[in-house]
Amino acid sequence: MKLGQVKTYAGATGADLHIDQPLSNISIGFRPKGLIARDILPLVQALKQSDAYYVWDRAEWLRVPSTQRAKGTEARKIQLKVSSETFYCLNYALRADLPYEDISNADAAINLRQSASNRIVDGLEQDWEQRLATTLTTTTNVGSAFDLTAAGLFRWDDHVNGSPVEDLFIGIRSIQGVTGYKPNKLLLSGHAAARAFRHPDMIKFIRGMGDNIGGGSVTEEQVARAFRLDQVLVGEGVRNTAGEDAPGTYIDIWSTSAILLYVAPTPGLMEPSYGYTFWWQPEGFPGRFGTERRRDDNKKVEIVETHTFQDEQVTSTALGFLIVGT
């Protein structure tokens, strides 16, 4: 459907439907606080909703070949082992019904529509965050993991025995030792960041790197410099686990986790990455999000509905390391 083209839907009597450009622009610009999903996996725009990508054999690429050739002999042949995986960009969508009466009585109808559009995208972003948190905190989706609540290990709120610096270096060495790539991103839950940033072990380490500490806590930027990471992300999003109309029960989306990853700074054919977020732009969509507005005269409501198509794929578990129970 072309942008602005009218299309009739069953059940929407006397209604016109179009991809609403202003609301789509608002949707793209709106971002809930404390969420980090957009900054974790590189975004890759797909030409089709479903397609394949190549996976090169890690063991073969890291095998050091003998390159010396004797006179009169052929050069040694190397193996180019490659397989393929597929992605499928699922449709994620939410809608809000605005009664005609509310629109008529609002001081500015467009503000009501904008608020609905913002809340919808807020929900889509929260769901994206939760999907990624579930994926990255599942031990089978990373190369290695350990739980600080296990016997013989110490949590980061233990200022005597806990050792966030050494724990993170173990993770860095774990990834680098089996891939040759040093992780470039550290993801911390709000709980993990609060404990790590105030831990005497971390403060001493940052001071030893020549940084000044203010207020008894280090910063994301200082940790990134000290561990030579491109980015330290703190996920502070919370979710309500209670059902509708029940009293709220709130938990951290990222729980008590710390995650080290190597992700490609720029997606490429020969560039390894822990994962990618593939997204597809259907015809008529102005970008990753498409917001449509239509009337339903039977229900006497105006419907604001936003869609996005994407698939978050883990492409190399060896490039991830998980610490839980911080």
Residue 296 in any domain: the answer is yes
Residue 69 in any domain: the answer is no
Residue 92 in any domain: the answer is yes
Residue 71 in any domain: the answer is no
- When pLDDT is averaged across residues 118-130 and rounded to a whole number, the result is 92
User: What's the domain count of the chain?
Assistant: 1
Could you give the 3-state DSSP secondary structure of residue 133? helix
Residue range 135-185, pLDDT digits in tens:
999 999 999 999 999 989 999 999 999 999 999 999 999 999 999 999 999
Neighbours of 196 (CB within 10 A): 27
Residue 217 in any domain: the answer is yes
Residue 207 in any domain: the answer is yes
- When pLDDT is averaged across residues 110-115 and rounded to a whole number, the result is 79
Cβ proximity of 203 and 218 under 8 Å? yes
Residue range 7-40, pLDDT digits in tens:
333 343 434 455 666 666 665 554 567 899 999 9
CATH assignment at residue 236:
3.90.1690.10
Does residue 70 carry a pLDDT above 90? no
Q: Tell me, what DSSP letter sits at residue 21?
A: H
Radius of gyration of the chain (CA): 24
Residue 307 in any domain: the answer is yes
* pTM listed for this prediction: 0.85
Helix (H) or strand (E) holding 305: strand 301-314
Higher pLDDT, 262 or 2: 262
Residue 51 in any domain: the answer is yes
Higher pLDDT, 69 or 110: 69
Q: Tell me, what DSSP letter sits at residue 179?
A: H
pLDDT at site 2: 38
- When pLDDT is averaged across residues 206-234 and rounded to a whole number, the result is 92
Identify residue 211 by its one-letter amino acid code.
D
Residue range 75-95, pLDDT digits in tens:
887 777 778 899 999 999 999
Helix (H) or strand (E) holding 4: none
Domain containing 31 equals 17-61+79-324
